[in-house]
Amino acid sequence: MNLLLFALSLALTLVAAVAFVAHVTSGREGAHRVALGALWAAFGLETLALALRFASVGAGVLDSFHDHLSLLAWLLVGCYLALQARIRLDVLGALVSPLAFLLNLSSYLFYSGTETLPPELRTAWLPAHVAPAFLGYAILVLASCVSLVYLLQERRLKAKRPGRLHRLPSLETLDELNYRCVAWGFALFTLGIVTGALLAKTTWGVFWVWEPVQVLSVLAWLVYAMLLQARSLGWRGRRAATLTLAGFGLLLVTLLSFSVNFGVPHGRTFGG
Question: Which residues contact other proteins by CB under 8 A?
Answer: 27, 153, 157-158, 160, 162-164, 166, 168-173, 176, 232-239
Between 94 and 240, CB nearer to other proteins: 240
Closest approach of other proteins to the CB of residue 83, in Å: 15
Question: What 3-state DSSP class applies to 64?
Answer: coil
Closest approach of other proteins to the CB of residue 174, in Å: 9
Between 14 and 31, CB nearer to other proteins: 31
C-alpha gyration radius of the chain: 19
End-to-end CA distance of the chain: give it in Å, rounded.
29
Closest approach of other proteins to the CB of residue 176, in Å: 8
CA atoms within 13 A on the CB side of 239: 12
80, with CB counted inside 10 A (0-12, 13-18, 19+), is buried
Between 86 and 166, CB nearer to other proteins: 166
180, with CB counted inside 10 A (0-12, 13-18, 19+), is middle
Contacts of 100 (CB under 8 A, 6+ apart): 13, 17, 42, 73, 76, 77
Closest approach of other proteins to the CB of residue 93, in Å: 19
Between 158 and 266, CB nearer to other proteins: 158
